[in-house]
Structure 1
Amino acid sequence: MERKHFLKSLLLGAASVPALLSACSKESVSPTSSTTTTGTSGTGSGGTGTGSGSCAVAPTETEGPFPTKVPSSYVRSDIRDGKTGYQMDITITLSNSNASCAALAGAIIDIWHCDAEGNYSEYGGTGMQATNYQSVHFLRGRQVTDANGQVKFTSIFPGWYSGRATHIHVHVYSATGTSLKVTQIAFPEGTGTAVAAVNGYAKGLNGYTSNASDNVFSDGVANELATVTGSTTAGFQLAFSMGVPA
């Protein structure tokens, strides 16, 4: 759900949290129209998949049910907050689909994802998430894109929870706080991929929901699929590129 009325300051512009959204449904209202372009090849720790091209506009997805409550408070690149798991270095690159795919500098990117056990910070103690993490803020962060349209985060490889494939939430704003895109990053799956190597941490992959069966990704992940390389011993590197109409 788009949040339109942020203050212009990065550090002071906090938004109120909307009502919890469905965890496993498509976003019903798109803040922007999507454009389809040919994707590039993505590799997942030995596997391959179709990744998003530099000007491909990812579809709009739900930001719920666990969006960051006050994202402007978490301007940081290392979002681990002591959470353990296989290290994952994240690079997200934005281009302006309305300006010949030029690098989009000065945009604000928020990301958030679950921990190794499938839990989110800032929520819990309810039927949706039994473990209560309401008072902590791990695996959430905000950065501003540089001259190349890039931001970098240090995190851990996400776990999974019932009904969802491995994913990362992304919300992109203009420099003045206007919402440009809410989407989610998907991971390559199958033999030789990072998802297979991590194997769901202690949970394993029994009961895991694949991209094809995930209600958010089941219509295709051509413009949402990251490139993921690395290993459990050396750590992982995730790269994701997309265009936004700015």
Structure 2
Amino acid sequence: MQALASRRRALRWFTGAGTAAVLAACDGGSSGSGTTSVSATPTPSPAPTSTPTPTPTPTATASGSCVADPTETNGPYPADGTNTASGLTSNALTASNVVRSDIRSSFLGSATTVAAGVQVTLTLTLVDVNTGCAPLAGYAVYIWHCDRDGKYSLYDLPSESYLRGVGVTDANGQVIFSTIFPGCYAGRWPHIHFEVFSSLTTATSGRYASLISQLAMPAATCSTVYATASGYTSSLSNLSGVSIARDNVFGDNSAAQVAQQTPTMSGSVEAGYTATAVIGIAR
């Protein structure tokens, strides 16, 4: 019995000493206790890890050919159902044959006149600036512009309906038009009007457009065409009195917006020009 009691006293001593050591080690990080703690081998703290700075998501820029095109006026000659035209219709969008790639000829009534001028093949690419410039398929694009004399069909030329047409974007968000280089009339920089609709079904009036804007023709090409091509004589003198910066449509846009609104063009007066432009929509 004495041996058993001795063993129990010894166990109680070891247990108490171990508990004190553990408590002292746990309290070693605190301060102001006034008690000297039992030394214990400190457990090394893990080395701090630096959190890598996240790479910012690229913002669509003009250099990436993807900014949101600004909304512009559809002007006095849209024939999109938003005003009254003096010609065959005030809303060309409701015509059954308005969907066409080659817009150089009149398509309403009995007129079949083909607008004279330097040929331009224009490819427009429609993209969504909020989804990494993804192409927008199945959208309808209506374009119209003046002829080489600065006149608009259905208004200045009531019996003509040329230089107007609608196209639907393909899987690449692209639509192609065959047209002519527009003339320059007094007070405006040479331009092409366009309206974008979410589908061909909604393209029945300018009131339903997702975007109404304009393209600014490149200055160098304007100078070349107006100086050397037949029929553009008045455009050359009108061009000398206007500029992008002073234009009442393009003049208040940012440099990035103007850059995107200006088609890239190559070719010649004799062979015709190819033009490409990106149209950005923030959906």
- Pairwise CA distance, 1:204: 4.5
Identical aligned residues as a percent: 45
- Pairwise CA distance, 1:202: 2.2
Partner letter of residue 75 of structure 2? G
Contact 2:118 2:181 in 1 (8 A): yes
Tell me the equivalent position of 2:68.
57
Distance 2:215 2:161 in 1: 20
Contact 2:184 2:235 in 1 (8 A): no
Structure 1: 5+ residue runs without aligned partners?
Answer: 1-35, 41-52, 125-132
Tell me the equivalent position of 1:99.
131
Partner letter of residue 92 of structure 2? V
SS at match of 1:138: coil
Tell me the equivalent position of 1:227.
264
Distance 2:198 2:183 in 1: 30
Distance 2:214 2:235 in 1: 23
Tell me the equivalent position of 1:202.
233
Q: TM-score, normalised by structure 2?
A: 0.63
Tell me the equivalent position of 1:218.
251
Greater helix content: 2
Distance 1:86 1:225 in 2: 18
Greater strand content: 1
Higher relative contact order (CA 8 A, sep 6+): 1
The total of aligned residue pairs comes to: 188
SS at match of 1:58: coil
SS at match of 1:205: helix
Distance 1:97 1:188 in 2: 23
Equivalent of residue 150 in structure 2, options 84, 108, 118: 118
Equivalent of residue 162 in structure 1, options 177, 186, 201: 186
Distance 1:72 1:227 in 2: 31
Distance 2:186 2:76 in 1: 14
Equivalent of residue 93 in structure 2, options 71, 75, 84: 71
Structure 2: 5+ residue runs without aligned partners?
Answer: 1-58, 80-90, 106-113, 203-207
Contact 2:184 2:238 in 1 (8 A): no
Distance 1:228 1:71 in 2: 28
SS at match of 1:92: strand
Q: TM-score, normalised by structure 1?
A: 0.72
Q: Cα distance 1:64–1:100, how it changes in 2: closer, same or farther (>3 A)?
A: same
Tell me the equivalent position of 1:85.
117
Larger Rg, first or second structure (1 or 2): 2
Partner letter of residue 265 of structure 2? V
Contact 2:185 2:235 in 1 (8 A): no
Contact 1:180 1:245 in 2 (8 A): no
Distance 1:204 1:94 in 2: 30
Tell me the equivalent position of 2:282.
245
SS at match of 1:110: strand
- Pairwise CA distance, 1:37: 4.1
SS at match of 1:199: helix
